[in-house]
Amino acid sequence: MAQRIDKELEEFRQVMEVPSTFEEGFRWSSLLGALFVAMMMVPGAIYMGLLAGVGIGPAAQWVTVILFIEIARRAHRNLSRSEIFVLFFMAGAMMSGLGIAVQGGRPAGLLWNQFFINSDAAAATGIAEQIPRWVAPPRSSESYSLRTFFHKDWLPVIAMVIFGTFLSQISNMVLGYGLFRVASDMEKLPFPMAPVGAQGIMAMAEDVEAKANRDAQDSWRWRVFAIGGAMGLLFGIVYLLLPTLSGALTGTSVQIFPIPFSDFTGKTGQYLPAVATGICWDFGQLVVGMVMPYFGMLGGFIGLVFTMILNPILYDQGILWNWKPGDDTIATMFKNNVDFYFSFQIGIAAAIAIVGFAQVFKSVRKARKGRAEKESLFTSLNRVSAPPGRGDIKGWAIILCYFVVTAIYIAAAMGLLVWHHGEWTRDIRNVLFTLLFLGFFYTPMISYVTARLEGMVGQVVAVPMIREAAIILSGYRGVACWFLPVPIANYGRMTVFYRQCELTGTKFTSIWKTQIILYPIILLSSIFFMNFIWGLDKIPSNAYPFAQKMWELQAANRCIMYSATLGEYSMFEAAFNWQYLAVGGFFGVGLFWGLSAVGAPIMLVYGVVRGLGQSMPHWIIPQFIGALIGRFYFRKRLGLTWRQYIPVVAAGFSCGMGLITTVGVGITFLSKSVIKLPF
């Protein structure tokens, strides 16, 4: 039977085509762009992540690209698409901070480590005293009172940061490329979501070419980008600039739109018991809803409605027994997680993984019919030729990199455990077996499955709690195992990036050269500015409302899992329930196949299944509203060209928001860095 073609995915596939030639995009002048982002954008990104839980990564990327386009134009030179893409990638890599800094409110890195070891959740569960020294110094360290990472107690932590980020950058780049070769060159998969990220680059390149030819008739992308930028500037003034400046200049933050969201749970609890209600006022969420596939947003909303119906029933049945009238969103989410959703969400995630594996298995069987019998994947990869001039490497180098990186990860983890315990123990031996399984079996399997799903339907698959389950089953006692450099990764996610690189006609060697140059700059700038921001005020505190509101919830949720290896009754045992897990798994698989059987769009199926967990309406509702506006207003007026316009609008909006917030952050830093004289 022929495979059903999803109309919505076909719209994404037809947006762009791969060019016939590839150009070198790396220039030494790009180093100036890296330094510009490091000095101007990185501190703003960290600060806004703490303040409002928003990132300025896209803004930093577009500002850098626009600035260097204008500089090049005044030097009577036009940047090519490849050079623009490399600048865009470079700025994005700088803003990611190698995962060691707070980005978009995501708790991570050194700032999170100093908070977690001193958090109420870690102290209450007895975890704080067992956190190893390569994660954070003991709570008695004077570095916490001084609020500085430039202290001898932080040397092991920073050393592990350097070690982990270096290996992860190498493995992501090389192994992600290898999986792209398999999914794109060998399997010829379309990667339907890749054009979404490449459209903004084409807007910039088109504008450069149009102005060079003195013909702007076809430069619609630039006009659309400018409209999005103006929207971002106007909204950013009200949503982020006003509270930032008022807090810096008067000490009291004035918020017209509450950050991070308005919480209605305490008032609606009498009508919707155990249901978290509220709304996020970030206009960017509307734009996100327009950019993403409509049926994916619809599926998420259906899952939210299901949760709002299910939770009162579970409360009446005594399953969500911890919830009390008057609880806010944070308390409601945490209590529901312990009572039911921790296990139920594992089952739902398992359902997604099972269906993803089934889809990939079916497609692999079909693909094998077109290859010679008994021909291995490695042989096929070497046999299939890459497009000329793209800048590819040999298959054997990819395999060698994988084995070397995995072996180094395992050796380092064993060394850290021996250092922590002072000797080789049976627990450490069991952890070794666990790491061998994760590194040499699970990682290649899940990476290949994700690469194929990204190529087919733009989805990522993950086996839920595989790392956690492996650690628990190893029998290890203590919490050091949770902070090891574990050789587990999903390299299939990188395949979309390489597809975008290909769509813009950029040689892959340009990306690899850029990454080598960027690494030390990213490392130094991230650590320096995290130290500077920590020195301004305690983190979290009233100065950072998002971190103060959300980080304690994150710490409590993480302690649920960390407590599983303490060797005594823990929150994990209270939260984990095989029956709830099985219900989530069977219900998710049944719903997925049921919707597929009636011909529901692929993205609707994934959206509904993913939304079956304990969804927060604060972000889902504005995203769904945006999807409705895009689908039933703009799509009717503009037709299929709307699918080309909206990614460019989103890019411009992010740029405008980031510009205005960066101004506010700069003023804040200046006001807090003023030295007051004692007379």
Contact 85, 68 (CB under 8 A): no
pLDDT at 193: 66
Lowest mean pLDDT, pick from 356-370, 470-484, 660-674: 356-370
Collapsing DSSP states into helix, strand and coil, what is residue 565? Answer: helix
Place of tokens 């749970």: 265
What pLDDT is recorded for position 403?
93
Residue 205: the pLDDT is 63
> Which tokens is 134 given?
């390569």
Q: State the alpha helices, DSSP H only, in 460-601.
A: 466-473, 494-503, 508-536, 545-562, 571-575, 578-597
What pLDDT does residue 1 have?
34
Would the pLDDT of 406 be above 90? Answer: yes
Q: Which helix (H) or strand (E) holds 278?
A: strand 278-279
Q: Which residues 6+ apart lie within 8 Å of 674 measured at CB?
A: none
Question: What does the pLDDT look like over 264-308, one tens digit per residue?
Answer: 988 888 888 988 888 888 888 888 888 887 888 888 888 888 888
CA atoms within 13 A on the CB side of 384: 21
Rounded distance between C-alpha atoms, residue 571 and residue 554, angstroms: 14
Q: Per the structure block, which two tokens stand in for 333?
A: 């989410």
What is the helix, strand, coil percentage profile of the chain, to 5? Answer: 70, 0, 30
Per-chain mean pLDDT for the chain: 78
Tokens of 232: 């971002």
- Which distant-in-sequence residues (6+ apart) come within 8 Å of 606 by Cβ? 296, 299, 352, 457, 459
Position 435 scores a pLDDT of 92
* Res. 102 pLDDT band, cuts 50 70 90: low
Q: Is the pLDDT of residue 156 over 80?
A: yes
Phi and psi, residue 174, nearest 5°: -75, -50
Q: Residue 245's CB: how many other CB atoms inside 10 A? A: 19
Residues 346, 580: Cα–Cα separation, whole Å: 9
Closest CA to 203 of 189, 220, 216: 220
Between these two residues, 275 and 673, which has the higher pLDDT value? 275
Q: Structure pTM?
A: 0.73
- Tell me how far apart the alpha carbons of residues 32 and 514 are, in angstroms, rounded to a whole number: 12
Beta-sheet strands, E only, within 38-191: none
226 exposed, middle or buried (CB, 10 Å; 0-12, 13-18, 19+)? middle
Phi, psi of 564 (to 5 degrees): -65, -25
Angle in degrees, 0-180, between the axes of helices 220-236 and 284-291, rounded to the nearest 10: 150
SS3 of residue 14 by DSSP: coil
Among 84-93, 295-304, 378-387, 447-456, top mean pLDDT goes to 295-304
Q: What is the structure's pLDDT at 373?
A: 46
Q: Which of 551, 566, 547, 571 has the alpha carbon at shortest distance from 481?
A: 566
Tell me the average pLDDT across 73-88: 78
Of 568 and 343, the one with more pLDDT: 343
